[in-house]
Amino acid sequence: MFKKYSSISYWVKALVVVISIGFSSNDAFAAGPPKASELSNPLAQVLLVIIVGLLLAIGLLANVILGAAQVYLQRYKDERKKGNNAVGKFLTIALLCLTTSALFAADTPAATAAVTEETSIAGLSLTSFYVMVSVIFLELLILWVLLANLKKLLAKEAAVIADTEEAAVKKTSSFLLWWDNFNSFKPIQEESSIDLGHDYDGIRELDNRLPPWWLYGFYLTIIFAGLYLYRYHVAKSAPLSKEELSIALEQAAADKEEYLKKSASNVDENTVTYLTSPADHEAGQKIFTTICAACHLADGGGSVGPNMTDNYFIHGGGIKDIFKTIKYGYPEKGMKSWKDDYSPTQIAQLASYVKSLVGTKPAKGKEPQGVLYEEKTGTSSATDSTKAKVDSTKAVVVK
Amino acid sequence: MQVEKFYYDNRIVKQFAFATILWGVVGMLAGLLIAVQIYLPAANFGLPFTTFGRVRPVHTNAVIFAFVGNGIFMGVYYSLQRLCKARMFSDLLGKIHFWGWQFIIVLAAVTLLAGYTSGKEYAELEWPIDILIALIWIVFGINMFGTIIKRRESHLYVAIWFYIATWITVTMLHVVNSFELPFSMLKSYSFYAGVQDALVQWWYGHNAVAFFLTTPYLGVMYYFLPKAANRPVYSYRLSIIHFWALIFLYIWAGPHHLLYTALPDWAQSLGTVFSIMLIAPSWGGMLNGLFTLRGAWDKVREDPILKFMVVAITCYGMSTFEGPMLSIKSVNAITHFTDWTIAHVHVGALGWNGFLTFAILYWLIPRIYNTPLYSKKLATNHFWIGTIGIILYTIPMYWAGFTQALMWKQFTAEGTLKFQFLETVTHIIPMYITRSIGGVLYLSGVFIMVYNIYKTVKAGSLVADEAAEAPALASHIEPQSKQYWHRWIEARPIQMLLFSLVAVAIGGILELVPTFLIKSNIPTIAAVKPYTPLELQGRDIYIREGCYLCHSQMVRPFRDEVARYGEYSKAGEFVYDHPFQWGSKRTGPDLARVGGKYPDSWHFNHMQDPQSMSPGSIMPSYTWLYENKIDTAITPAKIRAMTTLGVPYEKGYDLKANADLMEQAKKIQTGLKTEKLEAGANTEILALIAYLQRIGSDIKNAPKPTVAALTN
């Protein structure tokens, strides 16, 4: 009847909202090649889910209020037939205002959500964030107003029921009323009317209607499935896994460049110098125990990897050589590249710590490997053996 | 109409009930052991058969197929007789079914601990046991259908629909996923390779959850819940819709276990959308359960059985909502490979399966022993201890998974990884410890139940044959006046079986067939070559020790994984992997690019004493690999099997294989010697090192395409 009609109209509205969200994003993408949309931003997704969830809640609540209001209205109409009264008129107008505002409320987010999509730039811009958050607040506000109205309405209705039918029905909490309506429960005392008469070893079956939220939820997931497949595989407006990776890598490279421009840590194997401060050595030692000790032992005595405490080096013993060995590694000899794991500053600290190990006495030193390294006079101006080899090694290590 | 007298068989129900309890305790003890091993490597005891990689499959198989499996049979044998108003079709088949299943379980435990595994999760059992399972499952099917055919009830109740769908689907899954080529009495290679093997395996794995842990338990819920609550089932039409929607949609969702892997994108997307569509059908079962309790909630306050059922159904609802959420790619990117998955499955296993089983046991044992339950109070205590156990188990695991995933993904401003893998592991050790405490609580609840049931059984006596009577079934089906359209099929079990098969076959066929037939789904890579005989032997050792249970071999196309492990994995890299070894959990780091990352000597030291190479590591040591000789006698058979499966070894290579094997082993051995490491000739460690050094290196050593070409 009326209730049913109103709920269907509401759901149609909700679907339009969801579809408009899905398609507006597609339009945004149709212009250019696929790039990271704001929709793939986790925050945006969470906010969107909240928005849609609240929207559903608003819709359901509006539905309940409509139903309740209808009952209320009917009663007043009946009364009016008996004797005209001004309060009835006033209430009718007030209720109409309320219900229409509830319906409009359901429309607003749709409009704003569409706006969000159109103004979207890469990443979640401040604007869209605030728009989404304000949509959420707006929705919460609407919910609050709706709830307040529902409470008033129910209280009135309960009073009327108490007056007219005097404890014929047990007083139920407003939540339970809402809950029964929400699931379109049949009152328990009317259960026999929907008993199907089945009897399986004493088990009977009722013929309750499907909970509306369940059924429409099911439809929604099916529509979601269609939109999802359309976006990824027909419109190709959302990035697949490999595109996601290249977007992430580009973004990361840009961020890194931006950062290095601003920071002082932009050292490399040509500019690195031996760091002498105890703080640097301590930091270096910490990294050494985490990653190097496995092959070179905690005191640098060497096991799988060579001894770090003698003055013999396979790939050169200058600070620049050591820096380079750590940064790029010598994978063919089992030395991994650590440039993705540690920053240039950290590698400089580690290299300095390693260099400081030379001459210490390990508990069990491995025999010397490589060639004896002699520091050129004057520590700071040490021209490493790197220079000569730099070209040949670069070819190997650069990806 | 003639009223017939007959007897329900309660003895078989009792047997399955006791087996359920026994294997429940065994499976949970195994689980507790591996939970402790994760933070206490010494608890591996340095023995092959007590090490994590071998005990873990015992835990999963015992809980799924022994505990829940016997639970299913207990529920089915009890409810089916009563719903059909008939004794089970054949007592003999029942006996064969019961003892056959227990025999399979024992065989499974022994072979798994001995290292015989197919290397595919939840389908680890080797080929002779696979055949045995199929035979016993058919015995069960005959016994079930025999009973249904000779029923005295015209229509089939919803519980039976679920039993029928379970039976036919499990048959299909088991047969398709167990295609394997035996090369010895106890070992075989999967018929499928790489991407295809992964797809079949997770089509199976996901639907083992669906059709072994879910649909049969929904069936028993539909019987025991209305019985225990003494309330009519909430909605018959909800039963119809959610049943058909559930079995049709569930089968498609398997690929959500393979998001961001080398599986083609279209299959991944199908996995996602079908999982999302599953929410409502799954919840249909929950709603029908919970709403059936309408008007009986006052009973829930007093009755521990209903308490167990309510929590079970709630856990079912939670995990069937969580599952679809985990299938959304952006969520999956965080949760997959972490302990989040472990938390998720344990909400299902401990909550849904465990608690529903306990409820049924508490309800059914007093009835077949014709005596009240020994102590309601103990049962209530069991409920509370178990519930706290579940909470204490799952929350730390969710937390651990989330924390670790975020740590993996964290970069410094300079663009380097913020945490080494090991740091992310040691960080969550406290959560592992809390989890095992949750497990202890849950298990102590089970011991309380064992005591309670023991006392109950002592007090009563088994009503082995329970008298019942019902009118014989009229030979014609009554004319349908104003009936539901669905009543038609409810009176026709064979049609029900066929329709269920059609419903579950569609999804499977549409996903599997294109992946097998369309070449573009798995682009070949010229640099990828078959394994050498030594590497092949090493790979089988890798599988035997269950390395795949803690190490994945799948670098996903994420910035952090590419930085941490190397180039992301390509479909073409796995074409010779029978079976695939992508794994599902990273307790240790990914190994897809481990080849060439460390020197042989590192692996040699690491396998003997992992903590020496990675201080703080939780990996157990594998000392026996240094004494065991490689079984070279089997090499030719292995090569022949691989050739049959399409791996392009040259003709007659099976006979030359061992020479190559020895040569390569010798080379590794000599290399180790220069580092002063003594490896025995042809010891297993050499084969394992050879394999580890090979993994993922084919692409690495090939001439490098430019970065742009790789990422497109």
Question: Are residues B700 and B618 located together in one domain of the fold?
Answer: yes
Q: Is residue B146 part of a domain?
A: yes
- Alpha helix locations (H) across B186-338? 194-208, 215-229, 236-250, 265-277, 279-292, 297-302, 304-326, 329-335
Q: How many CB pairs under 8 A join A and B?
A: 183
Cβ atoms within 10 A of the Cβ of B651, count? 6
Interface of A with B in 88-127 (CB under 8 A): none
Cβ atoms within 10 A of the Cβ of A249, count? 18
Q: Is residue B455 part of a domain?
A: yes
- Confidence (pLDDT) at A13: 53
- Confidence (pLDDT) at A103: 45
- Confidence (pLDDT) at A385: 44
Interface of B with A in 666-695 (CB under 8 A): 675
* Interface contact flag, B330 A40, Cβ < 8 Å: yes
Q: Does B488 touch chain A (CB under 8 A)?
A: no
* Interface contact flag, B157 A200, Cβ < 8 Å: yes
Question: Are residues B501 and B537 located together in one domain of the fold?
Answer: no
pLDDT band at A146 (very low <50, low <70, confident <90, very high): confident
- Confidence (pLDDT) at A123: 56
Mutate to test the interface with B, among A45, A173, A201, A297 (most CBs of B within 10 A): A201
Is 90 exceeded by the pLDDT of residue B187? yes
Question: Are residues B449 and B361 in contact, defined by beta-carbon separation less than 8 angstroms?
Answer: yes
- Phi, then psi, of A156 in degrees rounded to 5: -60, -50
Q: Is residue B480 part of a domain?
A: no
* Interface contact flag, A206 B235, Cβ < 8 Å: yes
Question: Are residues B218 and B318 located together in one domain of the fold?
Answer: yes
Q: Does A193 touch chain B (CB under 8 A)?
A: no
- Phi, then psi, of B471 in degrees rounded to 5: -70, 145
Beta strands in B455-582 (DSSP E): 465-471
Q: What is the CATH number of the domain that holds B111?
A: 1.20.210.10
Mean pLDDT of the region B566-570: 93
Q: What is the CATH number of the domain that holds B579?
A: 1.10.760.10
- Confidence (pLDDT) at B477: 57
Which residues of A are less than 8 Å from B562 in CB distance? 245, 249
- Confidence (pLDDT) at A306: 87
Cα of B597 to nearest chain A Cα, Å: 6
- If you classify domain A278-397 with CATH, what class do you get? mainly alpha
Interface of B with A in 527-556 (CB under 8 A): 556
* Interface contact flag, B557 A233, Cβ < 8 Å: no
- Confidence (pLDDT) at B516: 84
Interface of B with A in 595-624 (CB under 8 A): 596-599, 601-602, 605, 612-615
Question: Are residues B507 and B559 located together in one domain of the fold?
Answer: no
* Interface contact flag, A228 B272, Cβ < 8 Å: yes
- C-alpha neighbours within 13 Å on the C-beta side of residue B76: 30
pLDDT band at A382 (very low <50, low <70, confident <90, very high): very low
Question: Are residues A263 and A343 in contact, defined by beta-carbon separation less than 8 angstroms?
Answer: no
Q: Does B277 touch chain A (CB under 8 A)?
A: yes
pLDDT band at A344 (very low <50, low <70, confident <90, very high): confident
Cβ atoms within 10 A of the Cβ of B38, count? 20
Mean residue pLDDT of chain A comes to 73
Q: Does A229 touch chain B (CB under 8 A)?
A: yes
- Confidence (pLDDT) at A80: 65
Is 90 exceeded by the pLDDT of residue A397? no
- Confidence (pLDDT) at B116: 96
Mutate to test the interface with A, among B6, B155, B414 (most CBs of A within 10 A): B414
Is 60 exceeded by the pLDDT of residue B171? yes
At A176-195, the pLDDT tens digits run 888 888 888 888 888 888 88
Is 60 exceeded by the pLDDT of residue A98? no
Q: Does B272 touch chain A (CB under 8 A)?
A: yes
Is 60 exceeded by the pLDDT of residue B192? yes
- Confidence (pLDDT) at A389: 39
- Confidence (pLDDT) at B476: 58
* Interface contact flag, A245 B279, Cβ < 8 Å: no
**Structural domain total, chain B:** 2
Which residues of A are less than 8 Å from B707 in CB distance? 399
Question: Are residues A226 and B278 in contact, defined by beta-carbon separation less than 8 angstroms?
Answer: no
Q: Is residue B176 part of a domain?
A: yes
Tell me which of B187-191, B518-522, B666-670 is least confident: B518-522
Distance from C-alpha of B669 to C-alpha of B604, rounded to nearest angstrom: 10
Q: Does A210 touch chain B (CB under 8 A)?
A: yes
Tokens 């195994």, residue located? B30
Which residues of B are less than 8 Å from A53 in CB distance? none
Mean residue pLDDT of chain B comes to 93
Q: Is residue B520 part of a domain?
A: no
> Which of B274, B275, B272, B276 has the alpha carbon at shortest distance from B333?
B272
Shortest CB distance from B233 goes to which of A206, A209, A224? A206
At A276-326, the pLDDT tens digits run 888 888 888 888 888 888 888 888 888 888 888 888 888 888 888 888 889
Mean pLDDT of the region B47-73: 96
Q: Search chain A and give the residue with CA nearest B674.
A: A304
Q: Does A173 touch chain B (CB under 8 A)?
A: no
Q: Which two tokens stand for residue B680?
A: 């025995």
Q: Does B330 touch chain A (CB under 8 A)?
A: yes
Which residues of A are less than 8 Å from B411 in CB distance? 252
Higher pLDDT, B441 or A28: B441
Question: Are residues B567 and B700 in contact, defined by beta-carbon separation less than 8 angstroms?
Answer: yes
Interface of A with B in 355-384 (CB under 8 A): none
Is 50 exceeded by the pLDDT of residue A107? no
Question: Are residues B237 and B378 located together in one domain of the fold?
Answer: yes
Tokens 């770090």, residue located? A308
Could you tell me which residues come within 8 angstroms of residue A91 by beta carbon, excluding any fewer than 6 positions away?
A: A72, A76
Q: Is residue B527 part of a domain?
A: no
* Interface contact flag, B265 A303, Cβ < 8 Å: no
Which residues of B are less than 8 Å from A207 in CB distance? 235-237
- The share of chain B scoring above pLDDT 90, in percent, equals 88
Tell me which of A336-350, B74-88, B113-127, B241-255 is least confident: A336-350
Q: Does B420 touch chain A (CB under 8 A)?
A: yes
Question: Are residues B253 and B159 located together in one domain of the fold?
Answer: yes
The domain segmentation of chain A, as residue ranges, is 2-191+207-244, 278-397
Could you tell me which residues come within 8 angstroms of residue B438 by beta carbon, excluding any fewer than 6 positions away?
A: B388, B389, B390, B391, B392, B393, B394, B396
Residue B250's SS3 state is helix
Question: Are residues B504 and B553 located together in one domain of the fold?
Answer: no
Distance from C-alpha of B510 to C-alpha of A360, rounded to nearest angstrom: 67
Cβ atoms within 10 A of the Cβ of B430, count? 13
Is 80 exceeded by the pLDDT of residue A217? yes
pLDDT band at A358 (very low <50, low <70, confident <90, very high): confident
Distance from C-alpha of B276 to C-alpha of B327, rounded to nearest angstrom: 8
Q: Search chain B and give the residue with CA nearest A189.
A: B295
Shortest CB distance from A249 goes to which of B234, B281, B559? B559
Mean pLDDT of the region A158-162: 66
- Confidence (pLDDT) at A125: 72
Question: Are residues B569 and B501 located together in one domain of the fold?
Answer: no
Q: Is residue B528 part of a domain?
A: no
Q: Is residue B66 part of a domain?
A: yes
Q: Does A203 touch chain B (CB under 8 A)?
A: yes
Distance from C-alpha of A207 to C-alpha of A200, rounded to nearest angstrom: 15
Question: Are residues A277 and A325 in contact, defined by beta-carbon separation less than 8 angstroms?
Answer: no
Give the DSSP letter string of B317-337: HHHHHHHHHHTSHHHHHHHTB
Q: Search chain B and give the residue with CA nearest A225.
A: B273
Residue B7's SS3 state is strand
At B299-336, the pLDDT tens digits run 999 999 999 999 999 999 999 999 999 999 999 999 99
Q: Does B256 touch chain A (CB under 8 A)?
A: no
Q: Does A187 touch chain B (CB under 8 A)?
A: no
Is 60 exceeded by the pLDDT of residue B463? yes
Q: Domain limits at B269? A: 3-469+485-511
Mean pLDDT of the region A109-129: 52
A379 strand-pairing partners: none
Tell me which of A122-131, A243-252, B252-261, B367-376 is least confident: A122-131
- Confidence (pLDDT) at B351: 96
Shortest CB distance from B602 goes to which of A252, A253, A304? A304
Cα of A391 to nearest chain B Cα, Å: 19
- Confidence (pLDDT) at A121: 41
* Interface contact flag, A188 B707, Cβ < 8 Å: no
Interface of A with B in 230-269 (CB under 8 A): 232-233, 240-242, 244-246, 248-249, 252-253, 255-256, 259-260, 263, 265
Cα of B290 to nearest chain A Cα, Å: 12
Question: Are residues B489 and B564 located together in one domain of the fold?
Answer: no
Interface of A with B in 321-350 (CB under 8 A): 331-334, 336, 339-346
Cβ atoms within 10 A of the Cβ of B22, count? 16
Q: The complex's ipTM?
A: 0.90
Tokens 């401060």, residue located? A277
Question: Are residues B654 and B624 located together in one domain of the fold?
Answer: yes
Question: Are residues B244 and B360 located together in one domain of the fold?
Answer: yes
* Interface contact flag, A242 B557, Cβ < 8 Å: yes
Q: Is B655 left (phi over 0), alpha (psi -120 to 50) or beta?
A: alpha
- Confidence (pLDDT) at B454: 97
Which residues of A are less than 8 Å from B473 in CB distance? none
Question: Are residues B562 and B590 in contact, defined by beta-carbon separation less than 8 angstroms?
Answer: no
Could you tell me which residues come within 8 angstroms of residue B335 by beta carbon, excluding any fewer than 6 positions away?
A: B326, B341, B344, B401, B402, B405
Question: Are residues B368 and B304 located together in one domain of the fold?
Answer: yes
Mutate to test the interface with A, among B559, B606, B607, B614 (most CBs of A within 10 A): B559
